[in-house]
Structure 1
């Protein structure tokens, strides 16, 4: 058969193909470009927010552990007691019971010999060549992930897990004269990272193909365990912490990827760790691809059917179809209410006209159905986006709130400190900073148990809320340690508030049968200070002075209050 430019068959074929494209092509192009791009942007932003939340919680957890070791190293027992005292092992094992992820905690003297340790492991052995001892002599130290060496033969292997891996926390121990006595160190088992990530990972992550990784500074995946040998992360230069990327991971699959750095928490020591969240592009765009297939199949089926009818009609009928062609062109021109009726045609032509009319109606109905389906899809995406935003808000709240007392946590305190410091640098003025510590809190825990200690913590938190202004900020920054920020205050103002807090808590009715008191360190942040942590360190120093002066007192004001 030969197609002529002005043949009846060509014209009719082009008409029906044009109708099919007119109905389906805009929908397909919308799904393929605009909607798919919007879905990628929304999902990329969600992945970025999830990575930032996990990085924040992980960094805060590391900071809490490091702070715990530093505070323990500064306690009176470690500053004064003879290194052969049996009290050291009891102290270390109490800390291990508080945080079971510590596989080993030990105290080495200045010559590198372990003098006390949990379970008695490595006691008497030299650790002089271990990085944590070398660096811990100089100051607080955090060691990157590594496999156990000296402890490999002492710790029982975990069935179904690979080599035992640790991260190290270390702090120097000084005597009252400031001379180095030794190094206190803890080896935390790497499984704690899995617990942190699992808590932060959405419950439907596996269903949605969502993966969360921890990547070290050498661009190797260190979580989940074993991935570093089978999965190569994209080069870190390709990541933008403020956005998301589409990358390959050494295989044929493309992933939507977002990253967030685990920030430095010891000055001068950078882990270089990043939280990387990824999802296969095919999973992200699964709904889009499904709709595209439906549209393409519908277009193909309709086009094939139309062409078959055209060729069959043109072969058997010619002249009556010219009338149908004219009517069809009118529909093509936008007169959708035009009826395909040929009154003087044979029964077959009339039947064809009726069939074509039904098809035109079906196409219009299909277009309306697609529009309705698209509206429903947009509504569903909007609902899921809102749900995701709510989940992100809840994650944001959880990452900044202490679950026991309801106060802000260390992470939120750091944010507020930065805001106050920047505001002070811009506008001048000063703000006060109080560091509070519950006196003899370990004795309360030892005698009344952790439940009693928790009651005391909640009581102190509730009392604090009644003793400060609404504009003041309260946070629980450690086990029994609290921070109060007093905007637009002088040192004398801060000292008066510190004394008010001390007296108020001492006079309060605690939930236990003994008096609860606090020691308070006072400091003032001024525009001349180079960083926001200086006032924190000064308040910490004053807190230790208050402790050493007998507790239940305030140190650091114009004059000490008792």
Structure 2
């Protein structure tokens, strides 16, 4: 004799704590997930904004720095003591330049070269400058320019990366006597390291760097990288184009960073301040972990109370269990189903579950709305349009199709930009929505093309509505202050075809005729044979 197996029965006193635990865990998971995403997005935006602000301040500092350099060199170039000492006392000239270097915070070395490029005096003495004649790229160009000059970074014959700033020397009669130059040794301790070193970040997690107009590194925490060409970096490319801004970027080593960048107008240099994404995520994870730890005891306490309460008042929770099961199964549960109860704990849980059910219903409704709505215009999308057609055709209801296309829309995008184009699409959608009768379906069909479905409308009614919409659009105020026109094709079901495709083709052909006949007009479709 076969004895049926006994199914395991679980008491409600055990089920209720389990359900409460599940509800708490689900609610906590959703809450922490949303909080994690929001906090991460907020930290990303704040970090990039702070980095942009830092980069802009550094750019202003560099502008001031080079203005100071020029003023310092210009003052020295106009110093009559230099010309007087040059003719009489080389030692006194050396003292003047040594004092110039000591009093100037800008340069690693200063020198005077005559018009032929011969070094007359240099400080500090013995810095390996060519004592016969200057032949490096920067100095040669500076001598030829005979005006205020700041060089791009170049490598000297000794292998040192240098930036040169110079001012020409003219006597009272206007005769050119060479230049006074100051050099910055990019790979050594220099003015850039002294100014930006303290605010350059903390290494791999956050750091700044400076590039020239050609994308070559002028300043970096890793001095061995000075002179490296990083023009392939997306941010550096933007800086080379004179842009400033912020964005997420992969650096040349493949690391993920949040960058703020600013260009320096005076010399085309660019400043980048960036923070690693991994460090931001680490902060978010730490915050989340701390919150979880702080909530662990309340969660445990809630579970204990729920178990005790369930053991005492199991019966009132039977109904809540069934409702919760319905919600978990995706069924719609009315908030009225969660009726108040004499038991305080059951009543509180009623309120919580009612709020959860209402929130879930709102989210479901929102998702359903998003699934059938065009995100830009707020009109129905093609999925909703097809659903309406299925419903009407199943009932064999006649309908009219108004196919509307914006005239010269491509030129609007090309001339005024896609943001203006989006505003035009929204304008057309708003006019359509305001003018159509109740029960009509307005849909964005694709690009700048729209479709209006009218249930049980004659051709005269549909045509008049099309003309009203066309004229309303024509007199509407556009974002580019020029009139906007549309062309419309109208067809009917079943007069213009026994299938959906035939009716839409008839409307499309009518629209095509409207375009060919000069645009800004409504054309009715031709009935099928």
With normalisation by structure 2, the TM-score equals 0.49
Q: Which has the higher contact order (CA 8 A, sep 6+)?
A: 1
Report which of the two structures shows the higher radius of gyration computed on alpha carbons.
2
